Amino acid sequence: MKAVILAAGVGERMQPLTQTNPKPLLPVAGRPILDYVLDSLKGTNIRDVILVVGYLQEKIRERYGDGSDLGLKISYVEQPEQKGTADAIDHADSEETFVVVNGDVYCDAQSLKNTIKQHNKQEAIATLGTYRVENAASYGVIKTKNGKISEIIEKPEKTYNQLINAGVYVFEPEIYEFIEKTPLSKRDEKEITTSIELLINSGKLVNATELQEWTHIGRPWDLLVANKKALEKRAHEQKGSIEPGAHVKENVTIEEGALIRSGAYIEGPAYIGENSDIGPNCYIRPHTSIGKNARIGNAVEVKNSIIMDGTHAAHHTYIGDSIIGRNCNFGSGTKIGNLRLDAGNVIMTLRGKLTDTGRRKLGAVLGDGSQTGLNSMVNPGVKMGPNSAIGPGAVLYEDLPSNRCIVVKQKEQERSWKNA
């Protein structure tokens, strides 16, 4: 049996992070999202993997190569235009039973094994992995009868405690007959859920299994959820250097070459990447991941955040519940807010629309190469595009596009001063 991983999409809701990175390579607890997908597949003894790639595919190819370093056989299929999940699967064109996993979901290996086992027990054309969520408003809800799928309802009005399509499938090659018949959606895409509905309407057997562990990473704050789960499950070890006077909990990973200076206080679970320089006298709070070659200096506090490779916050900075891209730089005194003044849910703009994140605490999302000036502030839910900047004393209330800079203009007044 082989596996097909769908990793071609642009990831528009994850911008500005995906303006310079393919979504499957965004880091969770120090590793790309796609690493976790591949780990789950290895847990089922699947070794033959097809990666369907498109947007920024060269970075994915460079990261994984032929898969031999991971004990896998990886081949690549290009989806030139992102025309939907059914179109992506059609490009893989398998002649045997195959597993499909979306490249932005985490599913534990045992649940994947159970899905494959259930598929093999029945003469089904398709078996879907499902997951129970409290709010299914942005998902496809799965209706079942005696373990068989009877209906798929997209974005339902009733959202509480629903089984949803989790983006994990086992298919027989006959699925391609129904993909060929699949009409284009309103978004001008071929959706695999529509193909499955055609299967159901034709009287073909479509199974469902409920996954035990599952995380979908479709929006920026989903990265924080996945990061927290991964850090809590990780086996931590400390390979870097820890100076006397630093306080580091046992459930903190410190990679080789990292230096933890005296006075640093790191609560776990947390992750510190290779060659990063932490301290002196800083505070790293739980569920924080810091990438390679990063600098977190004096009087800096970081809470429940992902800070990517090469980013520097050298002094007097607060970063809370935020996602910070690669090679960003924070001027002294920068503050990133993570709580609205009215304590309401943080609102973030996704695809041009204001979206309730459902989170009381959520900071900012900064694209690669962003910079802040001395004593600047970024409000909750605000995004900065790659290579953007805000000047000293500026307060950022709205999203800032890439390659833009905002500065505070002071007005000079002529007036007498002392004895002048």
Q: How far is residue 178's CA from residue 191's CA, in Å, rounded to a whole number?
A: 11
Measure CA 290 to chain center: 15
Any alpha helices (H) in 214-332, and if so which ranges? 220-233
Q: How far is residue 296's CA from residue 398's CA, in Å, rounded to a whole number?
A: 26
Q: How far is residue 420's CA from residue 140's CA, in Å, rounded to a whole number?
A: 74
3-state helix, strand, coil in the chain (%, to 5): 20, 35, 50
Q: How far is residue 383's CA from residue 167's CA, in Å, rounded to a whole number?
A: 28
Active-site annotation, residues: 315
Any alpha helices (H) in 98-140, and if so which ranges? 109-121
Per DSSP (E only), the strands in 174-219 are 206-210, 214-216
Rg (CA), the chain: 24
Beta bridge partners, 313, equal 296, 330
Q: How many other C-beta atoms are found inside a 10 Å radius of the C-beta of residue 420?
A: 5
Helices (H) and strands (E) in the chain, counts: 7, 39
